[in-house]
A and B are shown apart, each in its own frame.
Chain A
Amino acid sequence: MPETAADPTAGPIASARDLVKIYGKGETAVRALDGISVDFGRGDLTAIMGPSGSGKSTLMHCMAGLDTPTSGTVVVDGDDVGRMKQSQLTRLRRTRLGFVFQAFNLIPTLTAEENITLPLDIARRPVDRDWFDTVVDAVGLRDRLDHRPSELSGGQQQRVACARALASRPAVVFADEPTGNLDSRSSGEVLGFLRRSVDELGQSVVMVTHDPTAASYAHRVLFLADGRLVAELADPTSESVLDALRDLGAGRAERDAPPVAVGRRVSR
Chain B
Amino acid sequence: MTRVALRGIRSHLGRFLLSVLAVLLGVAFVAGTFSLRSMMSSTFSDIVESSLTGDAYLRGSEVAAGAAPMGPGAEVAGDRNRIPLSLVQDVADVDGVETVIPDLTGPAVLVGADGTAVAGGGGAPSFAIGLHPDEPAAIVVQGRAPSGPTEIALESASLRASGLALGDTTTVVVAGALVEVEVVGEVAFGAPVAGATIVFLDVATATTAYAPDGRVATIAVYASEGLDETEVVERLTAALPGGSSVEAATGAALRAETQEQIQSALGFVSTFLLVFAGISLFVGAFIISNTFQMLVRQRQREFAMLRAIGASPRQVFTSILVQAGVVGVLGSVLGVGAGVGLVAALRVVFAQMGMELSGRIPLDGYTVLVSVVTGTVVSLVAAAVPSRRAALTPPVEAMRDDVVVHDRASTLRAALGGVLVAGGLAAVGMAVADRVDERGTVLGLGAAAVVLGVLLLAPTVVPAALGVLAAPAVALLRPLGGLARGNVTRNPKRTASTAGALMIGMALVGAASVLAASTEASTRSIVDEEATADYLLQSATGQVPGGLAQEVADLPGVQRADALHFSVVLVGEDQVLALGVDPAIFGTSLEINVVDGSLDRLAQGELAVQKAEAESRGWVVGDTVDLRGSEGRRTATIGVVVDSRALGVPLILPDEVFTAVVAAPDAAIDSVFVVAAPGTDLETLREDLTAAARPYVVVSVMDAEQFADRIADQVNQILVILYALLGLSIVIAVLGIVNTLALSIAERTREIGLLRAVGLGRTQLASVVTIESVLTAVFGTVLGVVVGAGLASTLPTVFADEGLSVLVVPWTQLGVFLGLAVLVGGVAAVWPAIRAARMDVLEAVSYE
A interface, CB within 8 angstroms of B = 61, 66-67, 86-87, 90-91, 93-95, 97, 99, 101, 103-110, 114, 118-119, 121-124, 150, 164, 181
Instruction: Find out whether the CB atom of A66 lies under 8 angstroms from the CB atom of B757.
Output: yes
Chain A contacts of B490 at CB under 8 A?
108-109
Given the contacts A109-B483, A110-B482, A90 and B754 also touching, CB distance less than 8 Å: no
> Of all chain A residues, which has the CB nearest B490?
A109
Chain B contacts of A97 at CB under 8 A?
759
In the complex, what distance in Å separates the CA atom of A123 from the CA atom of B404? 29
> How many whole Å from B574's CB to the nearest CB in chain A?
64
B479 touches which of A104, A121, A150 (Cβ 8 Å): A121
A108 touches which of B401, B404, B485, B762 (Cβ 8 Å): B404
Chain A contacts of B761 at CB under 8 A?
87, 90-91, 94, 122
In the complex, what distance in Å separates the CA atom of A104 from the CA atom of B762? 20
- B: number of interface residues (CB 8 Å): 28
In the complex, what distance in Å separates the CA atom of A104 from the CA atom of B483? 16
Chain B contacts of A93 at CB under 8 A?
756-759
Q: Provide the B821-848 mask, 1 if CB < 8 A to any CB of A, else 0.
A: 0000000000000000000011001000
Instruction: Find out whether the CB atom of A114 lies under 8 angstroms from the CB atom of B479.
Output: yes
Instruction: Find out whether the CB atom of A103 lies under 8 angstroms from the CB atom of B758.
Output: no
Instruction: Find out whether the CB atom of B754 lies under 8 angstroms from the CB atom of A109.
Output: no
In the assembled complex, 15 residue pairs joining A and B whose CB atoms fall closer than 8 Å, in A order, are A66-B842, A90-B756, A90-B759, A94-B761, A99-B757, A104-B402, A106-B754, A107-B754, A108-B486, A109-B485, A114-B482, A122-B758, A122-B759, A123-B759, A150-B404
Instruction: Find out whether the CB atom of B842 lies under 8 angstroms from the CB atom of A67.
Output: yes
In the complex, what distance in Å separates the CA atom of A141 from the CA atom of B43? 78
Chain B contacts of A109 at CB under 8 A?
483, 485-487, 489-490
In the complex, what distance in Å separates the CA atom of A164 from the CA atom of B755? 12
In the complex, what distance in Å separates the CA atom of A94 from the CA atom of B765? 13
In the complex, what distance in Å separates the CA atom of A104 from the CA atom of B847? 11
Chain A contacts of B482 at CB under 8 A?
110, 114, 121
In the complex, what distance in Å separates the CA atom of A164 from the CA atom of B487? 20
Chain A contacts of B478 at CB under 8 A?
121, 124
> How many whole Å from A100's CB to the nearest CB in chain B?
10
Instruction: Find out whether the CB atom of B759 lies under 8 angstroms from the CB atom of A119.
Output: yes
Given the contacts A107-B483, A114-B482, A121-B479, A61 and B842 also touching, CB distance less than 8 Å: yes
> Of all chain B residues, which has the CB nearest A61?
B842
Chain B contacts of A181 at CB under 8 A?
401
> Of all chain A residues, which has the CB nearest B758?
A119
In the complex, what distance in Å separates the CA atom of A251 from the CA atom of B479? 51
* Interface membership of B388, Cβ < 8 A: no
> Of all chain A residues, which has the CB nearest B489?
A109
* Interface membership of B760, Cβ < 8 A: yes
Instruction: Find out whether the CB atom of A122 lies under 8 angstroms from the CB atom of B486.
Output: no
Given the contacts A66-B845, A109-B483, A109-B487, A91 and B762 also touching, CB distance less than 8 Å: no
Chain B contacts of A61 at CB under 8 A?
842
> How many whole Å from A79's CB to the nearest CB in chain B?
15
Chain A contacts of B754 at CB under 8 A?
99, 101, 104-107
> How many whole Å from A66's CB to the nearest CB in chain B?
5
A101 touches which of B479, B756, B762, B845 (Cβ 8 Å): B845
A103 touches which of B401, B756, B757, B842 (Cβ 8 Å): B401
In the complex, what distance in Å separates the CA atom of A105 from the CA atom of B404? 14
Instruction: Find out whether the CB atom of A86 lies under 8 angstroms from the CB atom of B479.
Output: no
Q: Provide the B327-359 mask, 1 if CB < 8 A to any CB of A, else 0.
A: 000000000000000000000000000000000
> Of all chain A residues, which has the CB nearest B479?
A121
Instruction: Find out whether the CB atom of A122 lies under 8 angstroms from the CB atom of B764.
Output: yes
Given the contacts A107-B754, A109-B490, A150-B406, A122 and B841 also touching, CB distance less than 8 Å: no
> Of all chain A residues, which has the CB nearest B486?
A109
Instruction: Find out whether the CB atom of B486 lies under 8 angstroms from the CB atom of A110.
Output: yes
In the complex, what distance in Å separates the CA atom of A66 from the CA atom of B490? 28
* Interface membership of B750, Cβ < 8 A: yes
Instruction: Find out whether the CB atom of B755 lies under 8 angstroms from the CB atom of A107.
Output: yes
* Interface membership of B168, Cβ < 8 A: no
Chain B contacts of A114 at CB under 8 A?
479, 482
> How many whole Å from A180's CB to the nearest CB in chain B?
10
Max chain B CB contacts within 10 Å: which of A66, A103, A106?
Answer: A66
Instruction: Find out whether the CB atom of A104 lies under 8 angstroms from the CB atom of B758.
Output: no
> How many whole Å from B634's CB to the nearest CB in chain A?
78
> Of all chain B residues, which has the CB nearest A95?
B759
In the complex, what distance in Å separates the CA atom of A110 from the CA atom of B402? 18
> How many whole Å from B811's CB to the nearest CB in chain A?
35
Chain B contacts of A150 at CB under 8 A?
404, 406
> How many whole Å from B775's CB to the nearest CB in chain A?
13
> Of all chain A residues, which has the CB nearest B478?
A121
> How many whole Å from A117's CB to the nearest CB in chain B?
8
> Of all chain A residues, which has the CB nearest B761?
A90
In the complex, what distance in Å separates the CA atom of A86 from the CA atom of B839? 12
> How many whole Å from B659's CB to the nearest CB in chain A?
78
In the complex, what distance in Å separates the CA atom of A109 from the CA atom of B761? 19
> Of all chain A residues, which has the CB nearest B484?
A109
In the complex, what distance in Å separates the CA atom of A91 from the CA atom of B485? 24
A110 touches which of B483, B757, B841 (Cβ 8 Å): B483
Chain B contacts of A86 at CB under 8 A?
762
* Interface membership of B90, Cβ < 8 A: no
